[in-house]
Chains A and B, each alone.
Chain A
Amino acid sequence: MELGEGLLRWFVLWFVNFYDEQLGFIDYIIQSWEQIVDYTANHFLLVFIVMFFSLIFWISIGLLISRYDSLATGAFSVGNLLFCIPSISLFGIFITIPMLGLGRTSAALALILYAMMPMVRNVYRGIKSVDWGIIDAARGMGMTARQILFRVQIPIALPVIFAGIRITTVMITGMAAVATFIGERNLGRLIHHGIARESSDMIIAGAILVSFIALLLDYLLGKIERRIASPGLRYDHQDEIT
């Protein structure tokens, strides 16, 4: 009896302490709800803007280099080089360019540049993966080059292309958090200020929220990815080599 009571007391104390210390971030989230919603909206807005332009630019570039192989090596060299540069560096360089300055434009531009590599690569790979026999048969039957692109190559490449969109979106979401250091007011700011003010609640809140959003986007886009391909295409999502 005494032992049981003692254990229970200990457990309650530990739980309260745990809640206080570790789960304090929940309190923080509830307290600062409006600000968090504001930050989240900004975060999504930035990701959306970046993805909007990235889809238009990079899918076009991807289609272009899949047609003209000579451009492909150049494009991939640029992309590979970009990946060696930390996101914060690119942000930092862009804000010193007079026309851009602090804030959204620099962030968006830098992120669009980063989006190039995964997008272009996946579009290229997807289009290239279409069997030559299929393309030859399509040509032989009288499809124009345009018809082949839109009715054959793109539909078959769609799973890979969409996987690229998913990967890019998740990557951009994470990098967007770093943009807080050049003035973006998004969820990264919770981490930023949390570190400055030594508030672990803020830090944990920021980290969990950003992670949650990244995982959510990955999950949702993954669901769409599975549906988007024609049932005739059996695509194994595991077979992606970076």
Chain B
Amino acid sequence: MIVLDEVTKIFPGAREPAVDRVSFQVTEGNICVFVGPSGCGKTTILRMINRLEEPTDGDIYIKGERVKDKHVNADELRREIGYVIQQVGLLPHQTVEQNVALVPRLLKWPADKIRSRVAELLQMVGLDPQEISHKYPYQLSGGMMQRVGVARALAADPPIMLMDEPFGAVDPIVRERLQDEFLRLQKELKKTICFVTHDINEAIKMGDHIVILAAGKLIQHGTPREILTAPANDFVKDLIGENKEIKLLELTRAAELVKPQAELPPALSSNGCCVQSIDPVQRALEIMLKENSDTVGVRDGDELIGAISWAAIKEYINAINANI
């Protein structure tokens, strides 16, 4: 849906390009996370998609059309793209309702349509419209502001959302909750999302696809699984950090490592609790530790289809480590 083709950005007076011939694609309905250290160009790339910055070279396409050609004014393009930034940037002189209604008002929607949409959106992001519509931004907590920011970006139901460290300004507990709720929302809405973060864990958690950048260059891109199991170089390895094994187990489903009952040596006990076949293997590991057992059963719904063993997990991880 979004295609970047050799996109380059050199800021006036800078010696090095901020973005250096970056090319990749974002599939429709996916969350694509741009991740990398400060100054790697991830935010610049994001801002080129809605033309807040213009590329020095290269092209960006949305649904086959060049972003530059799509509209006469960049403003019109931006009204079709949701934009969420870390500071949120709510207009302090307007109520929450007026803030969320901003793009619909620009698009001249009828008043009652706006009102009902605002209420719907606030509920979607987990806020009570009655309580919060008439409040001003200074009366909101950090977490509430971020939610309003997301609601505002979704207001005109844009197919694409650009998010620049949207959950960065809140404490880790609130951040986790916001991430989970957002993922839940995304399952319903299936928007095409470009998400910038400097936190690799957030990238792995949120991303269907990850793009790793450093000093303006694209280092590696792929699914979280691919990044974890086949890091392209030492930089990526360092970025992932020490506990990639656990992260990988969070991404691997139990269905992958399950062995049907018959195959297991009878010596291993098999009366621990169970996980569902779509659950992450990491949960099976947790149960093993809690119940002090080496095996965990796997169910598909109510039916017991097999078990995961501690040995199988080790075998899996070792195989991956051997390949890296």
Contact = CB atoms under 8 A, between A and B. Distances in A.
Contacts of B137: 232
Interface in B2-52: 50, 52
A148 to B, nearest CB: 10
A230 interface: yes
Interface string B40-77: 00000000001010000000000000000000010111
Contact of A138 (B50, B86, B91, B138): B91
Contacts of A133: 85-89
B93 A233 contact: yes
Interface string A150-193: 00100110000000000000000000000000000000000000
A160 B50 CA distance: 33
B107 to A, nearest CB: 9
A134 interface: yes
A142 B79 contact: yes
B93 A155 contact: yes
A27 B102 CA distance: 62
Interface in A129-144: 131, 133-144
Given A131-B87, A133-B88, A231-B136, A141 B52 contact: no
Contact of B91 (A140, A142, A152, A231): A152
B173 interface: no
Contacts of A134: 87, 89-92
Interface residues of B, number: 32
B117 to A, nearest CB: 15
A65 to B, nearest CB: 22
A234 B93 CA distance: 9
Contact of B94 (A131, A137, A139, A232): A232
B298 interface: no
Q: Which one of B77, B91, B102 has the highest number of Cβ atoms from chain A below 10 Å of its Cβ?
A: B91
A142 B103 CA distance: 8
A80 interface: no
A134 B138 CA distance: 13
Contacts, number: 79
A131 B89 contact: yes
Contact of A142 (B77, B87, B162): B77
A123 B149 CA distance: 29
A233 B77 CA distance: 30
Nearest to B78: A142
Interface residues of A, number: 23
Contacts of A231: 136
A199 interface: no
Contacts of A229: 93
B75 A142 contact: yes
Contact of B73 (A131, A138, A144): A144
A143 B106 contact: yes
A22 interface: no
B85 A136 contact: yes
A147 interface: yes
Contacts of B79: 141-142
B229 interface: no
B85 A142 contact: no
B83 interface: yes
B12 to A, nearest CB: 15
Given A131-B87, A136-B52, A232-B137, A141 B92 contact: no
Contact of A141 (B83, B86, B93): B83
A85 B310 CA distance: 88
Contact of A143 (B75, B87, B153): B75
B80 to A, nearest CB: 8
19 contacts: A133-B86, A134-B87, A134-B89, A134-B90, A136-B52, A137-B83, A137-B89, A137-B149, A140-B78, A140-B83, A141-B102, A141-B152, A142-B75, A144-B73, A229-B93, A230-B93, A232-B92, A232-B93, A232-B95
Given A133-B89, A140-B78, A143-B75, 7 more contacts: A133-B85, A137-B87, A141-B152, A142-B106, A147-B106, A156-B92, A231-B136
Interface of B: 50, 52, 73, 75-81, 83, 85-95, 102-103, 106, 136-138, 149, 152-153, 162
Ranked 7 nearest A-B pairs via Cβ: A137-B89, A232-B136, A140-B83, A142-B79, A133-B87, A142-B78, A230-B93
